[in-house]
Structure 1
């Protein structure tokens, strides 16, 4: 399992997660106020993202520990994109309509590394948590 492959799968999961969030948001906004629809869609899409990230991106077993730590990836994304937008607009003079795009691009490696650390953390040392067969297994 290469880091490049993980990064590609991470990006694909991100795209699926964004689509899932938006679809759920549109669905829930029919019956809920928009903030409640946003929160419900965000939480549900984050749960789906956790399982996709665990199984598809890193090919590791989901655990409660990883599930509870996974929201940190969203928090890191928020911090990096918020700081990025501020710096790009206030310091670099970039138009505020465009600033979120490079800020989001800057957040991808940070979020990827954090999610990789959570998903392939201490319990995976020695490959015990991997869904792939151990080396030499037939």
Structure 2
């Protein structure tokens, strides 16, 4: 009974609401990244790394707008500081996704298909960026 009460308290907490909004906004942003990255990489219009960069740039701009105005609205920091910090976290995100693309698709590494990096891009990178956004960018 106490565990259910704690779970209900957590569900009503500010962090839970932010996590849900972040998941939705992050899903939209990740979908945008995927829509840009996938055709470029799948049809070999460019290399996977250039496709990753293109996806990152489009997702970064849309992600900032969505997260600052919805996911973490009213959470704290001023806009000037938030913008710089968000850009720093987006570089961490870009670095992580670049690592996934290199590790999973590069001929010198695992040489997997173009879509392999999408797995950690969808499930690992968002967890890292949520924590950094919550604890540092929009704190």
Whose relative contact order is higher, 1 or 2, with alpha carbons under 8 Å and at least 6 apart?
2
Match of 1:125? Answer: none
1:10-89 matches, cutoff 5 A: 10-26=22-38, 33-35=45-47, 36-60=50-74, 63-77=79-93
Computed over aligned residues only, the root mean square deviation of the Cα atoms, in angstroms, reads 4.1
Structure 1: 5+ residue runs without aligned partners?
Answer: 87-95, 122-138
Q: Mean alpha-carbon deviation: is it higher for 13-22 or for 71-80?
A: 71-80
| Separation in structure 2 between the aligned mates of residue 77 and residue 9 of structure 1, nearest angstrom | 18
CA apart distance, 1:22: 1.8
Cα distance change of structure 1 residues 38 and 120 upon mapping to structure 2, 3 Å threshold? closer
Structure 2: runs of 5+ lacking an equivalent: 1-12, 104-111
Distance verdict in 2 for CA 1:15–1:62, change over 3 Å: farther
Is the Cα contact below 8 Å between 2:56 and 2:94 reproduced in 1?
A: no
Contact 1:54 1:62 in 2 (8 A): no
TM-score between both structures, scaled by the size of structure 2:
0.54
Give the Cα separation in 2 of the matches to 1:5 and 1:119: 17
TM-score by length of 1: 0.54
**Aligned position for 1:113:** 131
CA deviation digits over 1:30-89, x for unaligned, max 9? Answer: xx942434322211111100111111101148724322221333444567786xxx9xxx
Q: CA deviation at 1:116?
A: 1.5
